[in-house]
């Protein structure tokens, strides 16, 4: 009598494990965000701000490495989101609170609450931004982000802290601006403003020589005064969202009226 189970083909087993290379960069981004928080608790705010920028760099590398090496996975997507929440949600809010917002307690209990509420609004907005991005990733227009990307929001906050620490400015002296920056960054993350994603840039194909020259010049300018140029650059990117959105609305209105753009 033959064994019926022996005639059945065994189900194909999926290989277990995770891709190491892209997740190493994600882990590096997570570590940088954690290091930023630890540095802020020790009043090393310049190191904390730099660590957030390092996390941003690692976050930009991991996805491109995964695509170039064909090592994309659902695990990597989820791990990247959790890392982003720490590095670009919790870390910037806590570093800004330690650098500036906690000093609002000297102006009364109402201002003290507004200080940590501003930091919480940013953190909650980052979580909502990441959740919305993950739920709409299949249907969203790849050319644009809906709302300010959390790494750019973190870069704006960290850029202000780095610029202030480098210039010897005490966070307690600029708490109104700090509260405005972190609250505005949080609101922009959950807004419907459009931000250019730069995902159309293809690093595998050839580019004109002038493009390489521009990249070199950007590195030169940033190296002259990193905190100033990085803060100014990301501030311009933050402001580009309203500009792009207004321009698209005007283009849409002109099409409805039948007038040429």
Q: 5 in a domain, yes or no?
A: no
At residue 258, the pLDDT reads 67
Q: Is residue 83 part of a domain?
A: yes
Q: Which residues 6+ apart lie within 8 Å of 36 measured at CB?
A: 47, 48, 49, 51, 52, 55, 87, 91, 92, 95, 158
Quick one: tokens of 258?
């039948």
Q: Is the dihedral of CA 86, 60, 134, 75 positive or negative?
A: negative
Domain assignment present for residue 2? The answer is no
For 167-194, give one letter per residue: b (16+ CB within 10 A) or e: eeeebeebbeebbebbbbbbbbbbbebb
Per-residue confidence (pLDDT) for residue 203, from 0 to 100? 61
Backbone Cα Rg of the chain: 22
In a domain, 129, yes or no: yes
Q: What is the pLDDT of residue 171?
A: 94
1 within domain boundaries: no
Assigned domain for 55 exists: yes
pLDDT, residue 221, reads 82
The reply to whether 7 falls in a domain is: no
Instruction: Identify the pLDDT of residue 15.
Output: 53
Nearest to 238 by CA among 152, 117, 116, 118: 152
Number of structural domains (the chain) is 1
Q: Is residue 27 part of a domain?
A: yes
Containing structural domain, residue 98: 19-257
Distance CA 119, CA 178 (A): 10
pLDDT at 125: 97
List average pLDDT for each run of 10 residues in the chain, which is 261 residues long. Answer: 48 59 91 97 96 94 81 86 95 97 93 95 96 81 87 96 94 96 96 84 69 84 90 94 89 75 53
CATH code at 37? 1.20.120.1760
The pTM (predicted TM-score) of the whole model is 0.86
Predicted local confidence at residue 6, as pLDDT: 46
pLDDT of 9 reads 47
């Amino acid at each position: 009598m033959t064994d019926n189970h022996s005639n059945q083909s065994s189900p194909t087993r999926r290989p277990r494990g995770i891709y190491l290379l892209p997740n190493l960069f994600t882990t590096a981004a997570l570590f940088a965000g954690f290091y930023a928080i630890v540095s802020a608790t020790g009043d090393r705010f310049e190191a904390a701000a730099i660590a957030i920028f390092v996390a941003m760099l690692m976050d930009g590398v991991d996805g491109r490495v995964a695509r170039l090496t064909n090592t994309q996975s659902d695990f990597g997507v989820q791990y990247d989101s959790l890392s982003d929440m720490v590095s670009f949600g919790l870390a910037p809010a806590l570093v800004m609170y330690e650098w500036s917002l906690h000093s609002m307690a000297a102006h009364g209990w109402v201002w003290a609450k507004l200080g940590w509420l501003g930091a919480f609004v940013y953190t909650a907005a980052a979580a909502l931004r990441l959740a919305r991005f993950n739920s709409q990733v299949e249907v969203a227009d790849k050319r644009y982000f809906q709302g300010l990307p959390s790494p750019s929001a973190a870069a704006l906050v960290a850029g202000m802290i780095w610029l202030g620490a480098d210039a010897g400015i005490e966070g307690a002296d600029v708490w109104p601006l700090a509260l405005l920056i972190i609250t505005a960054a949080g609101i922009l993350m959950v807004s419907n403003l459009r931000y250019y994603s730069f995902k159309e840039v293809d690093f595998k194909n050839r580019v004109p020589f002038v493009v390489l020259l521009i990249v070199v010049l950007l590195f030169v300018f940033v190296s002259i005064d990193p905190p100033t140029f990085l803060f100014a650059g990301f501030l311009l990117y933050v402001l580009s969202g309203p500009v792009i959105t207004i321009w698209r609305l005007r283009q849409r209105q002109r099409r409805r009226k039948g007038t040429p753009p």
